[in-house]
Structure 1
């Protein structure tokens, strides 16, 4: 959401379009990320948000990914990464994931952006170019990241073994099963096609489209 306040945002968006990237203003997280086939997005949707403090919600995702991939994973802001935050996940000081959360109604969604494989330096270079163009002249009140191409790495490289997004997804599911969560895809399919779900989905989608339309009109 903070990227909306960049002084020269339109030029940055034009650069993304020239490189054939689609872009949109998401409803969680503060700054931009790059997604492609090597990125896994994982979300936990939990009820009763009033009994789950903000840090506790982040810790749930951190614990899940730590169990799924490595005890070496630590949290803490990696300042020179793109979309830096307190709950960046890293191994040996190199970030591979970031966590955000969104609270609405009586629920909380905890979302992780995980770089599994692919060209992470290309992603970082794209975001560095974006901010060099968009943040000119530099914003006086908001500090946008000064991206170091070595600040982030893919999880497969950090673990030193091949890892696909499908394999990573299954590892996460296995941890959920080990922790006594029930994975019921048939019931989820029924919920997805229920009227309340479709109404909520369409409302959120309409809001997202409206927000992005406003963004383009403003710029």
Structure 2
């Protein structure tokens, strides 16, 4: 199949499957959104915790690192006995896969805050919680957001594998294209996934700039 034929086939498939494409795009976004939401709610507090209890750092970072080494399909398979086949399993696996960049960057961002700055804040009468919320987290925000952006981009790509356990998403087209030997169907899933990853990275970058205090930009 030459490039012209692939292009024609892609246009044909898009014209006939655009409604399915929209449905699968929404499902893909749901997979990424809910798994990332869980990863942020768990990963950021864990990153903060290990800055306060350093002896836990090796275990927490090591455990999250081990999860990253498990092949994506294997991790999805491990989740099936717990959650069954479908969205819950995919979200659980994607959540676990997203933890390491968020925990590591939260830990590194807070640890890199100048100790003189935090001591000055304490000297002004701030409590430990106030130092965290008003000094450490704002100063560490760019590093934390870098971890979230990395996890999100990885998540978008990994979520295409959710099709193998019946969770839907853009991976449906990729899987169908592979089984039928149809490159246009593969592209119908791969191109929107790549564009989604780029769009989310830009959106998170904008959110970072909007939420970072002016003096820290």
TM bracket, shorter-chain basis? under 0.3
Q: Which has the higher helix share?
A: 2
Structure possessing the higher radius of gyration over alpha carbons: 2
Q: TM-score, normalised by structure 2?
A: 0.27
Q: Which has the higher strand share?
A: 1
